[in-house]
């Protein structure tokens, strides 16, 4: 049986460098940094840098529906609404039972959880808000997208730490390839700029002091950020039949697990995921032009990712363009892969590789062409997006110009 081809026809997103997908891409290609001092009540936090979204317009959401949402669900819904419009779709033009949504989330509705603790422990209330559970549950983002857009096909959440968005996108590809759906909205959303989440990450001693500098020898950690990204995926035949603009084709997905350490990455799992992605796409290593790296700016992650890329690509690794856009928008946890999808599609559509900003010192153990500080023009026919998460959960996606 011929495998159904899956294409992307719409994008939506919000993060610290833009409140729509086009603004995010323009910020990426110009190397604009969205990371800065936190404006939330920090109490006793040592951390004072993050990727906050400057303005979130929720005026288009019915107030009663908005009242049921945590912040990450709101971000997912706004990104999904934008993606649907970008794809030229609305309720009147779809069969709702053939359209679904999968949204990756690394944590949960932390704002709802923080509010409940504040109510009980600080204000002495006997109960939390009645909607704490539906605001906080990790599947809420997918459920809210389905309700706001009227989607009745396969709808569920995915949670695999920082690989959640890529896992959601791969799961959506599988739904379409299997014939369970014709159109899927997929991506990720997270809102970790909350006291409880920041406090927990601070305890791990992996947060940067003053900036995110992937692959640079002076890097000292990651920067957390709020964000969401959603893509519209559909069959190639369906997109062509309705005259949709096709942004790129998802030609491969590669998944693996390290099965070793919950926080310290190994190299074998990332190698397996990249190779599985190339195999699924029927691509040779020489067929790849650009890799959007996981690139968190932690010492070990960047070194391991470099080793994995060199292991798979061999001599071609020196001809690859690589960059980590987390240097600009920060680490949006479960949303990262979806925001980085915008970078990959932008590179394919415009022939521009976005930079890794903040790079100032060569690390001999990270000796890739990481596109330091400034974007470069380059024809990109095939791009890979890497996601390597805590727990050794790895997901890599291959995109091709069409």
- Report the DSSP pairing between strands 183-190 and 227-235: antiparallel
Beta-strand ranges (E) seen in 107-171 are 155-158
- Tokens standing for 250? 């998802």
Beta bridge partners of 326: none
Catalytic residue among 212, 253, 277, 294: 294
* Residue of 15, 162, 253, 277 with catalytic role: 162
294 included as an active-site residue: yes
Which residue has 């800065």 as its token pair? 36
Known catalytic residue: 316? no
Assigned token pair, 160: 């695999």
323 DSSP assignment: E
Buried b (16+ CB within 10 A) or exposed e, 81-110: bbbbebbebeeeebeeebbbbbbbbbbbbb
For residues 96 and 386, give the distance between their C-alpha atoms in angstroms, rounded to a whole number. Answer: 31
For 125, residues 6+ apart whose C-beta sits below 8 A from its C-beta are 119
> What is the rounded distance in angstroms from the CA atom of residue 224 to the CA atom of residue 204?
13
The answer for residues whose C-beta is within 8 angstroms of residue 173's C-beta and 6 or more apart is 6, 184, 233, 250, 253
DSSP 3-state of 71: helix
Q: Which among 175, 110, 116 is positioned nearest to 141, based on CA atoms?
A: 110
In this structure, the chain runs to a length of 402
DSSP string, 251-268: EEEEEEE--S-SSS--SH
**How many Å is the Cα radius of gyration of the chain?**
20
For residue 380, how far is the Cα from the chain centroid?
20
- Beta-bridged to residue 248, according to DSSP, are 8
Q: Whole-angstrom Cα distance, residue 236 to residue 255?
A: 23
Q: Which two tokens stand for residue 341?
A: 């999808």
Q: Which residues are catalytic?
A: 162, 294, 331
């Amino acid at each position: 049986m011929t495998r159904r081809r899956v294409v992307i026809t719409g994008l939506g997103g919000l993060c610290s460098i833009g409140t729509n997908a086009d603004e995010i891409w323009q910020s990426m290609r110009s190397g604009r940094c969205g990371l800065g001092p936190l404006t939330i009540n920090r109490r006793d936090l040592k951390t004072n840098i993050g990727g906050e979204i400057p303005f979130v317009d929720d005026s288009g959401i019915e107030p009663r529906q908005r009242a049921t949402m945590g912040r990450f669900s709101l971000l997912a819904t706004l990104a999904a609404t934008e993606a649907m419009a970008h794809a030229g779709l609305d309720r009147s033009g779809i069969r709702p039972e053939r359209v679904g949504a999968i949204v990756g989330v690394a944590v949960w509705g932390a704002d709802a959880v923080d509010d409940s603790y504040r109510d009980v422990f600080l204000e002495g209330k006997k109960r939390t808000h009645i909607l704490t559970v539906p605001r906080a549950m990790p599947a809420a983002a997918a459920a809210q997208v389905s309700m706001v857009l009227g989607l009745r096909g396969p709808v569920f959440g995915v949670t695999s730490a920082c690989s959640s968005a890529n896992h959601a996108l791969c799961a959506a590809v599988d739904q379409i390839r299997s014939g369970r759906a014709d159109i899927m909205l997929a991506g990720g959303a997270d809102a970790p700029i909350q006291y409880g989440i920041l406090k927990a990450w601070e305890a791990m001693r992996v947060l940067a002091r003053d900036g995110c500098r992937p692959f640079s020898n002076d890097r000292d950690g990651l920067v957390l950020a709020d964000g969401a990204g959603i893509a519209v995926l559909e069959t190639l035949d369906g997109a062509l039949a309705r005259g949709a603009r096709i942004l790129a084709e998802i030609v491969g997905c590669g998944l693996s697990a390290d099965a070793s350490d919950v926080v310290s990455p190994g190299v074998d799992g990332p190698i397996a995921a990249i190779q599985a992605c190339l195999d699924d796409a029927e691509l040779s290593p020489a067929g790849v032009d650009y890799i959007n790296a996981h690139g968190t700016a932690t010492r070990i992650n960047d070194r391991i990712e470099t080793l994995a890329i060199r292991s798979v690509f061999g001599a071609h690794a020196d001809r690859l363009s690589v960059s980590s856009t987390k240097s600009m928008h920060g680490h949006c946890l479960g949303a990262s892969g979806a925001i980085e999808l915008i970078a990959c599609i932008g590179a394919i559509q415009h022939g521009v590789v976005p930079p890794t900003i903040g790079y100032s010192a060569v690390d001999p153990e990270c000796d890739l062409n990481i596109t330091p500080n400034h974007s470069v023009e380059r024809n990109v026919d095939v791009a890979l997006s890497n996601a390597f998460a805590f727990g050794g959960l790895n997901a890599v996606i291959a995109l091709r110009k069409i």
